[in-house]
RNA sequence: GCCGGGAUGGCGGAACUGGUAGACGCGCCGGACUCAAAAUCCGGUUCUGGCGACAGAGUGUGGGUUCGAUUCCCUCUCCCGGCACCA
């Protein structure tokens, strides 16, 4: 055995062993053997990466967690599958293409090749025989195939949606490409624009997606809460306010000139949804979106209002922007009629009401809604209280002063005609019933969740399989002609989708009539690709069907691992997609992921610089020096050419390509080896917690592995140790030998619990470090002593092997084992090694720690109590007082209260 | 703005079910080895007072419940994730 730990050689040898033995190729049972999920299978899946170019520390964290679990579960005797693939479509490839003139396909595939090497160098127990990328036509053809099935069922449907529009580049922008309301390349003010898009009817599944969260007890509570809030079920009422004559005339006039849009004149009433129909008599205004037909009709007659509508169209579509912008409104001069009193209520255009969210209109009740209150105060609108908060003050302070939370509380209705004097629920019921009788409303459940728009006006994605024919209209591509293959040699230039200018793709014969037709150029949202990839890993080679019987064996995923940033969108879409496939008879499961582990983000500092013209650029923290300058800090970045530049500090954020703040694990792997990189990542923080990156402690992890190597080396170079239980009787050990043995077995049990139940790899590693410290202090070289050390070192190596598999592979052999540790069954801790005769209890006086006493492990309460009161220090603090109370917590402490 | 999470020594973190706050590691200080350095090994390291035994304070802020609170409840501050076209 080498005296020195040489990670490169150790890792090469271990990886060769796994490759030669196909150690991680998952095997299905013989056909027909198991209909659904045989008891011993374990499908361990980490979220597949976007091939951004290089791995970053977030990847190392994600995949090391999954790998440690995979290896641990293998050692528990489970048939484990841990596959890997590539989420290969998406925006960064187009950005790279624009920057470097390389086709997205080439850039993506080069990145995949490089990152695959990195993953392999890290020694992950992946079944590479199942690898695929979502940009492979053999994968995305099934996106297209299922899209067509959904379209047939009406789950996929077409309507207009709002997008960010860059008026200079004449292109749709992703939210990420909108910075402070401006296009990132052009700096032009972004506009909202309505375009036709395909949507998936996820709201039809809202009730099930919400209800099934209760059954997902293998999911973190925080994720379930976030999803429930996102779906946002609320019970309320739909109320129709009939149009007054002025509104009706305006709509009719607009319809005549075509200014009012499609819906103009069609609606006899303005519909809204409210959860507070009990406040209906407090309505003093209505607010509609700028794109609402009433707003457009009024704008056609009022240039000032039209200017305001145009202003509302500027800015991004992002909810965070809309929620934080200044609330503005303008009156239309048009009115609707209160459904009960018939009084006219003026309609306002408000920038915070969005078309496409519900009805594009809300009723304004300033007395009982905070946002309406502020809007009314700002615009001089009446505030009419109609609910008297129960147990609230007897005065009506609404007219002046700021909003009080009590204004929004439930209470008894007042000034509400025949509905006065009712409690919340009674008022809601009575008013809803009366509305229904008049045909002006009904009870309704509303979800916050909106349907999923999947059309993207972008090149590097899965083509939507449709053809537009001048004769036949929109025609689906027949299944036999799938996949619609994306040409891979185009280079986008920022001026829209290059597919729209590429004739070989664009020009097609209509599948129905054979005449000349135009192919659809929109591609699918990349969330589509990631909504079912976990199914495909079970059957990546099937070129005749999307899924097959192997999916029934492997699914659901037993452990899914990924970043908390996916808590809502990806995980919700994947759940939805699975339910759709179930309803189409393709899979037999209701939920895709039985257990979910959400790792915390790995953060790093962000530095950027905004040139006078063009895009803001980001600098990697590794290239930035922090300089103290008279109390203030300055940040100086060094460019590749050696020149320097003062940059701005933008705080901490997730490691990402776009912020250029990733840390490439490659340098760590080269310097210390994969095991050190893996170990440090697991040791640095509990995996569910956010981690601010710093490689300060890496050295310590390497030192630990070297100490372990040295300890094994010293032990084995003294020759074979006697075997405990055969050459040395366990009962014959002396006290220090028993203590080391107990530490070893406690460690074994703790590590199994930390990995298997708690998933706290950091404390598992710490426990093994303590064990090695105990071994180092143990100097007994007698045969019995060496037998105990042999066992303790074996336990240390086994316990670490899920985290640091390479060094464990080597050390296991050095400890005299012919079989590879990767195939070892995880041993149980020996209960007889764990027994302890005497234990130490803590004694408190008035809750403050004062002393410690040693008692027999099985001492009864009276004995413990007497021992505590007899303790000298305790008597000093208790003095002559008689204890009021003595609390004894078995095996833990005694608290004397005086 | 809304939803979810977090805050513990100089630093990363431990304390799992309300019961010894600071395990383990980093850093730092001292020592051994060495001509010297690196590496390694040994000891110390929450803060304040004390030579010391020891005492007091202490888990972002302010309050509460309890014999006992890092842990439970309320308030506030700051940080992180998500907010539907980054993935």
**Could you read off the pLDDT of A223-280 as tens digits, one per residue?**
999 999 999 999 999 999 999 999 999 999 988 876 544 444 456 899 999 999 999 9
Does any strand B atom come closer than 7 Å to the Cβ of A838?
A: no
Residue nearest to nucleotide B67 (CA to C1'): A897
Q: Stated in angstroms, how far is A773 CA from B29 C1'?
A: 22
- Nearest nt (C1') to A841 (CA)? B20
- Nearest nt (C1') to A894 (CA)? B19
User: Which of A145, A65, A211, A68 is CA-nearest to residue A563?
Assistant: A65
User: Which of A890, A821, A884 is CA-nearest to residue A862?
Assistant: A890
Q: In this predicted structure, what is the pLDDT of residue A398? A: 58
Q: What is the CA radius of gyration of chain A?
A: 34
- Nearest nt (C1') to A758 (CA)? B16
Is the peptide bond prior to A605 cis by the omega test (within 30 degrees of 0)?
no
Does any strand B atom come closer than 7 Å to the Cβ of A221?
A: yes
Q: In this predicted structure, what is the pLDDT of residue A839? A: 87
Residue nearest to nucleotide B14 (CA to C1'): A763
Residue nearest to nucleotide B68 (CA to C1'): A847
Cα distance between residue A124 and residue A707, in whole Å: 24
Does any strand B atom come closer than 7 Å to the Cβ of A87?
A: yes
Instruction: Flag residues 715-774 of A with CB < 7 Å from strand B.
Output: 750, 753-754, 758, 760, 762-763, 765-766, 769-770, 773
Q: Quickly count: other Cβ atoms within 10 Å of residue A409's Cβ.
A: 14
- Nearest nt (C1') to A163 (CA)? B85
Does any strand B atom come closer than 7 Å to the Cβ of A836?
A: no
Q: Quickly count: other Cβ atoms within 10 Å of residue A563's Cβ.
A: 19
pTM (2 d.p.): 0.95
What lies within 8 Å, CB to CB, of A281 at 6+ separation is A338, A340, A341, A384, A386, A413, A415, A416, A417, A419
Does any strand B atom come closer than 7 Å to the Cβ of A843?
A: no
The answer to whether A772 and A711 are in contact (CB under 8 A) is yes
Does any strand B atom come closer than 7 Å to the Cβ of A450?
A: yes
Identify any residues that bridge with A345 across adjacent strands, giving them in sequence order.
A336
The answer to whether A701 and A683 are in contact (CB under 8 A) is yes
- Nearest nt (C1') to A565 (CA)? B81
Does any strand B atom come closer than 7 Å to the Cβ of A660?
A: no
Does any strand B atom come closer than 7 Å to the Cβ of A620?
A: no
Low pLDDT (below 50) residues in chain A: 35-37, 260-265, 393-394
Q: Stated in angstroms, how far is A758 CA from B16 C1'?
A: 8
pLDDT tens track for A404-436: 878 888 889 999 999 999 999 999 999 999 999
Cα distance between residue A334 and residue A623, in whole Å: 60
User: Which of A462, A460, A458, A590 is CA-nearest to residue A148?
Assistant: A462
What length is written for chain A?
A: 898
- Nearest nt (C1') to A529 (CA)? B87
Q: Stated in angstroms, how far is A162 CA from B21 C1'?
A: 54
Q: Stated in angstroms, how far is A846 CA from B64 C1'?
A: 20
Strands A516-519 and A507-509: antiparallel
Instruction: Flag residues 638-657 of A with CB < 7 Å from strand B.
Output: 651-654, 656
Q: Stated in angstroms, how far is A605 CA from B64 C1'?
A: 39
Q: Stated in angstroms, how far is A563 CA from B70 C1'?
A: 26
Q: Stated in angstroms, how far is A862 CA from B68 C1'?
A: 20
Q: Stated in angstroms, how far is A800 CA from B80 C1'?
A: 31
Q: In this predicted structure, what is the pLDDT of residue A60? A: 97
DSSP A328-379: -EEEEEEEEE-TTT--EEEEEEETT--TTSTTSEEEE-TTT-HHHHHHHHHH
Q: In this predicted structure, what is the pLDDT of residue A43? A: 98
Instruction: Flag residues 277-316 of A with CB < 7 Å from strand B.
Output: none
Q: Stated in angstroms, how far is A322 CA from B1 C1'?
A: 8
Backbone φ and ψ of A180, nearest 5°: 50, 40
């Amino acid at each position: 055995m080498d005296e020195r730990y040489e990670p490169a050689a150790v890792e090469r040898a271990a990886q060769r062993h796994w490759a030669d033995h196909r150690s991680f190729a998952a095997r299905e049972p013989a056909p027909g053997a198991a209909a659904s999920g045989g008891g011993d299978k374990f499908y361990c899946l980490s979220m597949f990466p976007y091939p951004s170019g290089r791995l970053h520390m977030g990847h190392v964290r994600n995949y090391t967690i999954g790998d440690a679990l995979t290896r641990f579960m293998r050692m528990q005797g489970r048939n484990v599958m841990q596959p890997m693939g590539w989420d290969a479509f998406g925006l960064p490839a187009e950005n790279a293409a624009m920057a470097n003139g390389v086709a997205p396909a080439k850039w993506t595939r080069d990145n995949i090749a490089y990152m695959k090497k990195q993953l392999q160098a890290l020694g992950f127990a992946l079944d590479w025989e199942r690898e695929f990328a979502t940009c492979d036509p053999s994968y995305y053809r099934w996106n297209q195939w299922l899209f067509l099935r959904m379209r047939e069922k009406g789950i996929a449907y077409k309507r207009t949606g709002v997008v960010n529009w860059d008026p200079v580049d004449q292109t749709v922008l992703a939210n990420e490409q909108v910075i402070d309301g401006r296009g990132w390349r052009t700096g032009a003010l972004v506009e909202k624009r309505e375009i036709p898009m395909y949507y998936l009817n996820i709201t039809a599944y809202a009730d099930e997606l919400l209800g099934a969260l209760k059954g997902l007890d293998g999911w973190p509570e925080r994720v379930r809460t976030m999803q429930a809030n996102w779906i946002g079920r609320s019970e309320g009422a739909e109320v129709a306010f009939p149009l007054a004559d002025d509104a009706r005339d305006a709509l009719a006039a607009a319809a005549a000139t075509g200014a009012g849009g499609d819906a103009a004149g069609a609606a006899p009433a303005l519909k809204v949804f409210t959860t507070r129909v009990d406040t209906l008599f407090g309505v003093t205004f209505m607010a509609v979106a700028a794109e609402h037909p009433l707003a457009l009709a009024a704008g056609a007659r009022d240039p000032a209002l039209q200017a305001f509508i145009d202003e509302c169209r500027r800015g991004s579509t992002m909810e965070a922007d809309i929620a934080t912008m200044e609330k503005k409104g303008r009156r239309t001069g048009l009115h609707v009629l209160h459904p009960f009193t018939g009084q006219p209520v003026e309609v306002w255009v408000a920038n915070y009401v969005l078309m496409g969210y519900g009805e594009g209109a809300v009723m304004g009740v300033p007395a009982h809604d905070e946002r309406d209150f502020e809007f009314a105060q700002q615009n001089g609108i009446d505030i009419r209280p109609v609910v008297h908060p129960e147990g609230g003050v007897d005065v009506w302070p609404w007219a002046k002063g700021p909003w009080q939370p009590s204004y929004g509380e439930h209470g008894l209705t007042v000034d509400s005609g025949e509905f006065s004097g009712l409690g919340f629920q009674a008022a809601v019921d009575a008013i809803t019933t009366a509305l229904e009788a008049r045909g002006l409303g009904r009870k309704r459940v509303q979800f916050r969740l909106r349907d999923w728009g999947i059309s993207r006006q972008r090149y590097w994605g899965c083509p939507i399989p449709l053809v537009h024919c001048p004769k036949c209209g929109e025609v689906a591509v027949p299944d036999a002609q799938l996949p619609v293959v994306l040409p891979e040699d185009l280079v986008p230039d920022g001026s829209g989708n290059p597919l729209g200018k590429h004739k070989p793709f664009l020009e097609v014969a209509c599948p129905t009539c054979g005449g000349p037709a135009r192919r659809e150029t929109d591609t699918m949202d990349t969330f589509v690709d990631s909504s079912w990839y976990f199914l495909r890993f079970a059957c990546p080679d099937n070129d005749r069907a999307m899924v097959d019987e192997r999916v029934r064996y492997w699914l659901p995923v037993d452990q899914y691992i990924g970043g908390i940033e996916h808590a809502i969108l990806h995980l919700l879409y994947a759940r939805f997609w699975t339910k759709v496939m179930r309803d189409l008879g393709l899979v037999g499961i209701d939920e895709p992921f039985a257990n979910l582990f959400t790792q915390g983000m790995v953060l790093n500092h962000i530095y950027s610089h905004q040139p006078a013209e063009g895009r803001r650029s980001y600098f990697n923290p590794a290239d930035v020096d922090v300089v103290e300058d008279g109390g203030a800090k300055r940040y100086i970045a060094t460019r590749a050419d050696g020149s320097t530049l003062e940059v701005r500090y933008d705080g901490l954020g997730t490691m990402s390509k776009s912020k250029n703040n990733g840390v490439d694990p490659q340098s760590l792997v080269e310097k210390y080896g994969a095991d050190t990189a893996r170990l440090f990542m697991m040791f640095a923080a509990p995996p569910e917690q956010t981690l601010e990156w710093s490689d300060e402690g890496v050295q310590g992890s390497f030192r630990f592995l070297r100490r372990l190597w040295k300890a094994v080396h010293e032990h084995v170079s003294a020759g074979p140790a006697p075997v405990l239980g055969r050459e040395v009787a366990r009962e014959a050990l002396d006290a220090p030998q028993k203590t080391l043995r107990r530490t070893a077995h406690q460690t074994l049990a703790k590590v199994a619990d930390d990995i298997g139940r708690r998933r706290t790899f950091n404390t598992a590693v710490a426990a093994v470090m303590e064990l090695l410290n105990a071994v180092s202090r143990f100097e007994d070289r007698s045969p019995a002593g060496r037998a105990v050390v042999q066992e303790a070192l074996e336990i240390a190596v086994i316990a670490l092997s899920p985290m640091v598999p390479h060094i464990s592979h080597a050390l296991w052999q050095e400890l005299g084992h012919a079989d590879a540790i990767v195939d070892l069954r995880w041993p149980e801790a020996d209960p007889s090694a764990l027994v302890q005769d005497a234990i130490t209890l803590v004694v408190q006086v008035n809750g403050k720690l004062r002393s410690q006493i040693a008692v027999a492990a099985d001492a009864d309460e009276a004995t413990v109590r007497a021992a505590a009161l007899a303790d000298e220090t305790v008597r000093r603090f208790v003095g002559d007082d008689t204890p009021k109370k003595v609390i004894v917590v078995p095996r833990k402490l005694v608290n004397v209260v005086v």
